[in-house]
Amino acid sequence: MSNLILPRSVKRAFTRDGMMTFDQATIDSAGVFLVGELERLDQELHMPLASVTWGRDIDLREDVSIADEVSSFTNSSFAAAGGASPNGKSWIGKDTNAIQRMQLDIGKTPNPLTLWGMELSWTIPELQSAQQLGRPVDQQKFEGMQLKWNMDIDEQVYIGDAGLGVTGLVNNANVSTANATNGNWSGSTTADQMLQDVNQVLETAWAASAYAYTPDKILLPPQQFGILATTKVSEAGNISALEYVRNNSISNTNNGRPVNILPCKWLATAGAAGHTRMVAYTQNRRLVRFPLVPLQRTPLEYRSLFQLTTYFGRLGVVEVVYPETLAYVDGV
């Protein structure tokens, strides 16, 4: 028997997963694959690996709307002179006819509310093919769009946007920044040294806020959080340095509850010159918040064989109303 000779018009094509096919095209976008008779294809949707934590670490300002282009807030400053002594108490006498007045200054801080949008589209044949396969392309594109939305919010919340020239929760220029007393945490760093660095950042914010707020939350780079969580206080191994620090910080004493210490991926290089950074703050909508207009969408539009819809919302800038209640320590 002679060997089979393929016509020149037939070209072999290869899919990305290394399987060979003789079709002229492989339609990956609709989820069409060649499946062998003894192959069991997992129908579960496997999204790209991504972590977003913005919803955990900041409260939202929800009074903004899609029509707004700027979000703003005010800070009030007061001046009150004393009576006989300008720096003293406001004493007056029975026959006083010159009484000091309260002076008020109101400053406004505006920030842009930037429009965010993404279009989803598919052809009717593509949609029908995907539905027949049980892998709806419209739903998968929607899931991908939501992932992009959340990842963009995550970056905006923590570090802002360099193109817009705005900062976030962990790199605000108005927040006090210092170098860690001990720093460079490693396996040889003791629990007491870590506690000293944690109390350093807590005391900085506490003092700057006129001792009104002791931060109840600390964010650490993932590697430093891992060191804190795995270091033992003693050879007995009955308690980790993480638990020791939470229960013995000044936040636990002043607030009546242990400080909440959590990892944040954006802190690995957020410090000066790309160093690590520890952030302490009080998670309170009155002190710090993020303006966000939730996603909306246009009605489904038919254009030739295409179906299109656009999702849009607005992302603001983290409003650090009282920067004195936050503190950064670099080089942990």
- How far, in Å, CA of 94 to CA of 248, rounded? 52
Q: Indicate the average pLDDT of the chain.
A: 88
Is pLDDT of 125 > 60?
A: yes
Query: Given this model, what pLDDT does residue 193 score?
Result: 96
pLDDT at 227 over 90: yes
Residue 232 backbone phi and psi in degrees, to 5: -90, 145
Farthest-apart Cα atoms in the chain, separation: 127
Q: Summarize pLDDT for 143-183 with one digit per residue, the tens.
A: 999 999 999 999 999 999 999 999 999 999 999 999 999 99
| Percent of the chain with pLDDT strictly greater than 90 | 67
Torsion, CA 36, CA 39, CA 40, CA 41, rounded to 10: -50
Tokens 């936040």 locate to: 251
Structural domains in the chain, sorted by start = 176-290+323-330 (3.30.2320.10)
How far apart are alpha carbons 285 and 322 in whole angstroms? 11
- pTM assigned to the model: 0.84
DSSP-H helix ranges across the chain: 54-57, 124-133, 137-159, 191-208, 222-230, 241-248, 250-255
**Contact predicate 81/100, CB 8 Å:** yes
Q: What pLDDT is stored for residue 31 in this prediction?
A: 61
- For residue 29, pLDDT over 60 is answered with no
Tell me whether strands 217-220 and 327-330 are parallel, antiparallel or unpaired: unpaired
Q: What is the pLDDT of residues 53-97, one digit of tens each?
A: 999 999 999 999 999 999 999 999 888 887 777 778 888 888 877
Residue 275 has pLDDT above 90, yes or no: yes
